[in-house]
Structure 1
């Protein structure tokens, strides 16, 4: 268990001490999908959903969630985020919504968890706002797709 940064020698959970790490510019990108019926996408395009502007609301929810990640994930450090961008697009090839988040900071630890939280809560918000019109929806493939900064450097997933 000593190889895990959040576990001490006795197997107890602990917050990692990042105090001696250098401050660097950090960026993370994550993506996910909410799959739904094509008729649901038609209702969103036409503005005929019972809870209003679902995409704009879900994008805002994702931004708000990223800023509160340390309150949700027990061992995450609270970070001063310099940017949170959440973009949701209708994707007829799924069919559903493609969700992308990008988070930036200058700090001593990365922002992968904040990017993942942004996508997750955006997807959950879409689900909540559309559940009255579509019982078939699924949330899928939430993952980190890129990161920059820190000791491990850049990472890109296809």
Structure 2
């Protein structure tokens, strides 16, 4: 049974989409300056992307269930890409995953530095003000 002519899927699939403005910007960035993309083409690209995401996530979910896991992990996505014949995508996905993990570590370091200081936010702000005042005084003394 189809929701619309030529479209099959689970109920509510019509609600799934990607931001049109963002997709339009990405398409424009990839096309030569003298080529324009019609709205119908952009909408078709969005439908294809949503279908691709659905395909990969369904396969990853199946892999997850086979492993008796309750959460889809990045490794499940990579395995799904391989199973479905998208091996050429895996190295880029692994690179993005590596970057993401590094960004998470960097964020955790920043939080832990604050926590390690043992000072409240107000105490840190007061310390910062003292440093600014000392810096201003030093700058003004060199200007005279």
Which one has a larger percent strand, Structure 1 or Structure 2?
Answer: 1
Q: Which has the larger radius of gyration?
A: 2
Which one has a larger percent helix, Structure 1 or Structure 2?
Answer: 2
TM-score (norm 1): 0.24
Q: Which has the higher contact order (CA 8 A, sep 6+)?
A: 1
